[in-house]
């Protein structure tokens, strides 16, 4: 679909990183290689960093049901693109905290890859927040101290998890977002999935308005941060099963999540694209204008016209083949799209490193400066909150972003940027 040739090199230290909150199944992964990627030796095993007691393997036949199979989807999407480069799994938190579904998600991960983050004071917060984050030692699981700066981050990190903005405090979110910015400036690209519920939050949740109705669009965190490359999802258009270039629409089963942050304003590099979208596609919904999560829903508005828009880009997230033990399992959504984009950027980093150039890092402004390296997606919408949501359109839109990758164009463009 995206004109990606097979990889041919594996520079040490350029492994693709994947953030996980559950173990993966090596038996199923080996079977996947034998069945669908025969150029990858079946014994190929991801590198693995266990953060705060996280487990590595699962051979439970019901794992795809009990654990939702996120890890297997991420890994089986990434490997065929990056191989012979390897994948590095950052699995986070012990079983007790994994099963508790804590809302912290990323702080223990950030602690482990940047020791200075562990006790840093920012936005009136110092270190992790017990109301959201796991605490260690954990008498019911990992009994060691919280890991601080014990692992090196990879050049690209794909993340397919995210809570809603409304579930955590604004300063908690800001502290994390500033760390994503810091990593980007160090040459590390953070790629996040926007979610699968259109303009609604996880599970279709919407924000309550002044009349007690749940009508306000509900953005997720992580991809609300301007320094994270936010990835939506697409699918092949009817009548184009061959995946021919330029024939994609927004996903119509799992709706590609998109919209506007209630915490962060529109970044400068995105402003003209968002202004053009609303000029060409006037919104049928009332809006409000805010930052810092204040006055959400003012004037009966349902979205923040002045917010950071997402997604930035998109990729296929429909009918994606993965595995459950030795059986085919069909997955999808932005959880498939994000590792696709991350793997492509990892491949581009591979070429840049071979040429003596630095890694891409904070890549988003460069994409807005040259959207022609992406395939524009202009069909379908992102339903949610009892509405049809936003519509895909020419140029950037809050459904599919700037569009889907065109690998040769992206490679040529990014190889032209930055000095040796």
Please determine, for residue 67, whether its predicted confidence score (pLDDT) is greater than 50.
no
pLDDT of residue 328: 87
Residue 165 contacts by C-beta under 8 Å, 6 or more apart in sequence?
173, 218, 219, 220, 221, 224, 261, 262, 263, 293
Per the model's pLDDT, the better-predicted residue between 113 and 95 turns out to be 113
Computed over every residue of the chain, the mean pLDDT equals 93
pLDDT of residue 125: 97
Do you know the residue count of the chain?
420
Q: Which residues are catalytic?
A: 70, 74, 335
All domains in the chain, ordered by first residue? 16-85+121-126+152-415 (3.40.50.200)
d(CA 249, CA 349): 28
* pLDDT bracket for residue 324 (50, 70, 90): confident
Q: What is the pLDDT of residues 247-256, one digit of tens each?
A: 899 998 788 9
d(CA 220, CA 401): 16
> What is the reported pTM?
0.95
* pLDDT bracket for residue 243 (50, 70, 90): low
Query: What is the rounded average pLDDT of the residues 193-215?
Result: 96
Q: What is the pLDDT of residues 212-226, one digit of tens each?
A: 999 999 999 999 999
Q: What is the pLDDT of residues 161-186, one digit of tens each?
A: 989 999 999 999 999 999 999 999 99
pLDDT of residue 418: 80
pLDDT of residue 80: 98
pLDDT of residue 99: 79
Query: What is the rounded average pLDDT of the residues 47-56?
Result: 94
* pLDDT bracket for residue 61 (50, 70, 90): very low
pLDDT of residue 59: 54
Binding-site residue ranges for Ca(2+): 376-377, 395, 397
In degrees, rounded to 5, the angle at the alpha carbon of residue 398 between the alpha carbons of residues 395 and 399 is 90
CB atoms within 10 A of CB 312: 32
* pLDDT bracket for residue 325 (50, 70, 90): low
């Amino acid at each position: 679909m995206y004109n990606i040739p097979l990889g041919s090199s594996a520079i040490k230290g350029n492994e693709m990183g994947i953030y996980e909150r559950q173990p993966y199944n090596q038996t199923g992964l080996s079977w996947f290689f034998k069945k669908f990627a025969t150029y990858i030796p079946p014994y190929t095993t991801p590198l693995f960093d266990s953060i705060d007691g996280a487990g590595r393997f699962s051979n439970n036949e019901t794992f795809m049901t009990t654990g939702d199979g996120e890890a297997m989807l991420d890994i089986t999407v990434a490997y065929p693109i990056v191989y012979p480069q390897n994948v590095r799994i950052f699995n986070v938190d012990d079983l007790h905290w994994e099963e508790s579904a804590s809302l912290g998600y990323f702080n223990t991960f950030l602690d482990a890859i940047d020791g200075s983050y562990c006790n840093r004071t920012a936005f009136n917060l110092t270190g992790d927040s017990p109301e959201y984050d796991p605490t260690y030692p954990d008498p019911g699981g990992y009994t060691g101290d919280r890991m601080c700066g014990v692992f090196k981050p990879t050049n690209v990190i794909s993340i397919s998890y995210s809570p809603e903005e409304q579930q955590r405090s604004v300063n908690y979110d800001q502290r994390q977002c500033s760390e994503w910015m810091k990593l980007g400036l160090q040459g590390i690209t953070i790629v996040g999935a926007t979610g699968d519920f259109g303009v609604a939050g996880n599970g279709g949740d919407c924000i309550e308005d002044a009349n007690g109705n749940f009508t306000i669009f509900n953005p997720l965190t992580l991809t609300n941060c301007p320094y994270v490359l936010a990835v939506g999802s697409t699918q092949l258009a009817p009548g184009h099963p061959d995946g021919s270039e330029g024939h994609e629409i927004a996903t119509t089963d799992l709706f590609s999540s998109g919209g506007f942050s209630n915490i962060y304003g529109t970044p400068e590099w995105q402003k003209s694209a968002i202004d053009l979208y609303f000029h060409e596609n006037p919104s049928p919904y009332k809006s409000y204008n805010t930052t810092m999560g204040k006055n959400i829903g003012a004037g009966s508005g349902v979205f923040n016209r002045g917010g950071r828009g997402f997604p930035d880009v998109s990729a296929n997230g429909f009918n994606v083949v993965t595995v459950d033990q030795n059986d085919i399992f069909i997955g999808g959504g932005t959880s498939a799209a994000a590792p696709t984009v991350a793997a492509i950027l990892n491949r581009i980093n591979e070429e840049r490193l071979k040429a003596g150039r630095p890694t891409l890092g904070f890549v988003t402004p460069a994409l807005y400066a040259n959207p022609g390296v992406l395939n524009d997606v202009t069909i379908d919408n992102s339903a949610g909150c009892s509405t049809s949501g936003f519509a895909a359109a020419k140029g950037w839109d809050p459904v599919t972003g700037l569009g889907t990758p065109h690998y040769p164009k992206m490679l040529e463009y990014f190889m032209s940027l930055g000095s040796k």
